Amino acid sequence: MNLRNIAVVYRKELKDSLRDRRTVISMIVVPIFLMPVLTIFVGVLSARLIGRAMLEVPSVMIIGGEDSPQILAALHALQDIQVVPATPDYGRRGDARLLPPGDRLRADEPHRRRAGRRPHPAQLRRAAVELPPDFDVLIAHGDTARVRIDMYQGEINSGFGADKLQKFFRDFRERTIRQRLEARHLPGNLAEPLLVEETNVAPPEKVGGVVLGGLVPYFVIILALTGTMYPAMDLTVGEKERGTIETILCSPISRMNLVLGKFLMVLTASLSTAALAVASMGVTLAAASKMVGGLSQISTMGLQFQMTPRSVIWVFAMIVPLAVLFSAALLAISLFAKSFKEAQSYLSPLTIVVIAPAVVSILPGVELNARLSLVPILNTSLVCKEIVSGTYHWGYIALIFVSSCVYAAVALWVAIRLFQREDVLFRI
């Protein structure tokens, strides 16, 4: 192995790659501009939608209760909900419990659309409460009244409406219990044998890091892969299509030096993309945290979405072996292809193989352990998730770094072996 010859090949390939518009876009433009746009746009849009939903007065439909004026008056007196008339066809098509919530809560919307009238947002039923017959009588006699709250699960506004109804009936139940105890001359704390207090001991940056930790490694790993694709294909199968690979192989440079020079160029593209992605994400989060902190509805949650310089350095350090693995693997796969189109068909399924472990790391319940520390890509995503949240498991970090280096070395060895096979280099 001659370091001088490797440097010559590396400089030559670096100059050629910087002249390629697609390589520059995937290596520089995408991580610098894509990460801020995605982070700020998604974050600000989510914050504004949640804030708007929290400020909206939800419309609630009351089913039944005609014989219980007291509870109806209490519901109508609530300031944070708007009681709207019940739809006449609610529950007529069989058991109402079996109907989709959207059919029950918005049953009158199709009629309004057929009539050419667009329903006002306040007229959409965000939630519905069903009162049993003789509700007031049951409460007055000390019996149990069963109340059902219907909501459209997955809709933010409907969830807020159901939460407000839950709070109202929870307070109503506590007042009723106190009144019944007082009527029997019993102490008010008789129905409260214990009190449970829940406090958050995690700092705001820890809570925000847990929310953010799953997204940062996901984006960085994907960009590290995409930044490698075009250089890897151009330096291998591109040479075949241009007919220049024969000339390069005739040069007085060993094939090991040749493949190592090309590999370093592909690795440079991958590391540049990852570094720019991490740096861009850190700067973007610092700016986005100030923007989100200005929203009173979100700032009350106590979240701080930011990455410390220490976490940025360690995330990049853990990405380095993975970038080596990507560079060597893509170089070997691209070399095996006969044309640029064939290489793209080989590398496209590889993105799914990379995305799947990164997505698994975001799922709840998937925690870093010794067994998962040996799974490629998933281990890096999990440890980066912990690093962003402020947790450093040094034993797992060392295990993941070493195992990733081993996988990268194997992939590089395969690439070198393929460069030495004439049947691979000159496939027809």
- Residue 291: inside a domain, yes or no? yes
Residue 68's contacts (CB-CB under 8 Å, 6 or more residues apart) are: 131, 134, 135, 136, 137
Distance CA 220, CA 285 (A): 14
User: What pLDDT sits at residue 158?
Assistant: 79
> Which residue range forms the structural domain that includes residue 383?
3-41+203-425
Last residue of a domain, one of 191, 215, 231: 191
User: What pLDDT sits at residue 46?
Assistant: 67
- Summarised one tens digit per residue, pLDDT across range 247-273 is 777 777 777 888 888 888 888 888 888
Tokens (6 digits) for 347: 């590398």
Q: How many helices (H) and strands (E) does the chain have?
A: 19, 4
Rounded to an integer, what is the distance from CA 400 to the centroid of its chain? 23
- Summarised one tens digit per residue, pLDDT across range 87-104 is 765 544 333 332 344 444
- Residue 223: inside a domain, yes or no? yes
Taking the complete model, does pTM exceed 0.85, yes or no? no
Q: Residues of the chain whose pLDDT is less than 50?
A: 91-123, 294-304
In terms of domains, do 185 and 69 share one? yes
In terms of domains, do 357 and 412 share one? yes
Last residue of a domain, one of 131, 159, 191: 191
In terms of domains, do 308 and 260 share one? yes
- Residue 49: inside a domain, yes or no? no
In terms of domains, do 19 and 87 share one? no
What does the buried/exposed string (b/e) look like for 292-322 if buried means 16 or more CB atoms within 10 Å of the residue's CB?
beeeeebeeeebbbbbeeebbebbbebbbbb
- Residue 107: inside a domain, yes or no? yes
User: What pLDDT sits at residue 120?
Assistant: 42
- Residue 213: inside a domain, yes or no? yes
Distance CA 189, CA 209 (A): 40
For the chain, the straight-line distance linking the first and the last C-alpha, in angstroms and rounded, comes to: 30
The domain tally of the chain equals: 2
Last residue of a domain, one of 145, 165, 191: 191
Tokens (6 digits) for 153: 């699960």
- Residue 50: inside a domain, yes or no? no
Q: Which of 326, 334, 306 is nearest to 380 (CA)?
A: 326
Distance CA 215, CA 212 (A): 6
User: What pLDDT sits at residue 251?
Assistant: 75
In CATH, what number is assigned to the domain containing residue 162? 3.40.190
